[in-house]
Structure 1
Amino acid sequence: MGSRTSFLTPVIVTAIAINAVVLAAALALASSDAESPSMWRLLGEDGLVEWMQFLCFTVLSGLLGFIAMDKMSRQPRISLEVLGIIGLTVLVALAALEEISWFQRLLGIDSPEFFKQNNKQFETNLHNLALGGASLHKTILVKLIFVVGITHNVILPLVARTRPAVKSWVESLGIYLPPLPAAYAYLLLVLLSHLLIDHPRKGELSEMFGAVHYLSTAFMAYMIGLGYGRPAVIDNQADSRKVSTLFAMLLVFLLFVSWLLGSTYNPQP
């Protein structure tokens, strides 16, 4: 059932709705008081948005690992595609751990002296390491994420429409191409969050939107075969509908858990 082209699936629609609801909540809070405790519970460290990022990255890492194992069981030897998916699994797992500083705050572990001196937030993570007057995240990673995001979500899918060989080459590396409608919705929400929200941590919204977007589109590509030319994990249409509905429910549950975890956060702007 590979290369499905239908965009209106429960998973994609639910993911867009979740991102839109969080943006609407941020706009509502910002319109009353952008520095209110409620706004910081939404965007601050250990707030709803940060927990949603962590949970989505964690689930995505587990999902990619499962997909890699499923493909390995179907092939006589490890292919470049499988190696690519394994690489993505590790990368996403590291992103999840970095997001919560490797459980440092939860466990109450004091940062080593190196991170106290070289980390902009005095935390045990790499993305906030000082680089000049800013952090590694703001100086390099944000720009890199922007270039990779535009290339993966817009440029490559557009090129692949007229040059199927490009799509085949990308997929041979274990990388899927998101459906353009989902990509446009994701990028539009990112743009709106930057234009309409005035808060020192508004960039967290973009990161959460990306986490939800990639979790939903990766599931649809690898598991269901949405726009993906290689064999999907589930090749039965009836089963695909059922599993998609359950996964859409999981996305809503992740948002609920993030809200519960973020509600316990004591804002410290």
Structure 2
Amino acid sequence: MKTLTRTDKVAYFFLILIFGLGIYYANTDLEYFDEFYTKEDGFAEYCTAFLLLCSSILLISRFIKLQEFKKNLWKLGILAIAFVFLFGAGEEISWGQRIFNIESTQFFKENNAQAETNLHNLVVDGKKVNKIIFSQLLTGILVIYLIIAPFLYRKFEGIRKLANLFAVPIVQWHQTIAFLICTGLLLFMRSDRKWELYELAFGVIFFLIFLNPLNKSIYSK
């Protein structure tokens, strides 16, 4: 396991503080936890959106800097990941709808669980897209990416070449461990609003992954 950078240490301390306070408030003052600490349009939500945006900007800046030295599949991979995180940042704050006080169109009023302009709260045939795609599917992707992929990358040359070819950053084990710890800490919060903190952990850890992956050489000339 590589030595933690100063950024890693600051980020993990931040998560320890955030989750520590979350556990405390969730068990001592549930109203404060739900209506202030993890409230809609609150610190956790905006911080998550900001970190997702930072991840996207980081990848785009690397694309701009290195595109003339890289193959097309590398460009495709890094831009695809950057787009996913840009999309995630927009969805997190409903594309600035509440910030700029923009009214939803009739379609979203009728088909969105919160009548907001976003896709993850859409309701299709009585089922929320968020539950089907952004929960179940995302859980599977996270297990593969955070646990299985790092192992395969270390063991098989073909997997290493494929990941590097498409500019896929590979997780360091301390990043995987941090995510698993955050997942476990959710058990100590008795509120559905706890998922706001989990999304914040996602934003923090994935920014660290993109900043300093195991295969950081994919970001060199």
TM-score normalized by the length of structure 2: 0.93
| Matched positions, count | 221
What's the CA shift string for 1:165-211, capped at 9, x where partnerless? 21221121111111012111112212211x11111221122211111
Q: Equivalents in 2 of 1:74, 1:140: separation in Å?
A: 36
Q: Is the 8 A contact 2:164 2:218 kept in 1?
A: no
What's the CA shift string for 1:207-261, capped at 9, x where partnerless? 111111000110113xxxxx2163535x9xxxxxxxxxxxxxxxxxxxxxxxxxx
- For the pair 1:228 / 2:198, whether they are aligned, the reply is no
How far residue 14 of structure 1 moved from its aligned partner, in angstroms, is 2.0
> What is residue 19 of structure 1 aligned with on the other side?
15
Q: Is the 8 A contact 2:27 2:190 kept in 1?
A: no
The match for 2:185 among 187, 192, 217 is 192
Return the letter of the residue paired with 2:13. A
Q: Runs in 1 of length 4+ with deviation above 6 angstroms?
A: none
Q: Equivalents in 2 of 1:22, 1:133: separation in Å?
A: 35
What's the CA shift string for 1:51-107, capped at 9, x where partnerless? 1111101111111100111121334xx420111101111111111111111111011
> What is residue 258 of structure 1 aligned with on the other side?
none
Return the letter of the residue paired with 1:72. Q
Structure 2: stretches of 5+ with no match in the other structure? none
Q: Is the 8 A contact 2:34 2:193 kept in 1?
A: no
Q: Equivalents in 1 of 2:137, 2:101: separation in Å?
A: 32
Q: Equivalents in 1 of 2:148, 2:125: separation in Å?
A: 32
Q: Equivalents in 2 of 1:145, 1:10: separation in Å?
A: 29
How far residue 6 of structure 1 moved from its aligned partner, in angstroms, is 2.0
> What is residue 266 of structure 1 aligned with on the other side?
none
What's the CA shift string for 1:100-145, capped at 9, x where partnerless? 1111101111111111111001101111001344421122221111
Please provide the CA RMSD for this pair.
1.8
> What is residue 211 of structure 1 aligned with on the other side?
203
Q: Is the 8 A contact 2:146 2:171 kept in 1?
A: yes
> What is residue 54 of structure 2 aligned with on the other side?
59
> What is residue 148 of structure 1 aligned with on the other side?
141
SS at match of 2:102: coil
> What is residue 194 of structure 2 aligned with on the other side?
202
The match for 1:82 among 68, 75, 83 is 75
The structure with higher relative contact order (CA 8 Å, sep 6+) is 1
The match for 2:26 among 18, 26, 30 is 30
Q: Equivalents in 1 of 2:44, 2:53: separation in Å?
A: 14
- For the pair 1:72 / 2:67, whether they are aligned, the reply is yes
Q: Equivalents in 1 of 2:53, 2:204: separation in Å?
A: 11
TM-score normalized by the length of structure 1: 0.77
Q: Equivalents in 1 of 2:90, 2:7: separation in Å?
A: 25
Structure 1: stretches of 5+ with no match in the other structure? 222-226, 236-269
> What is residue 116 of structure 1 aligned with on the other side?
109
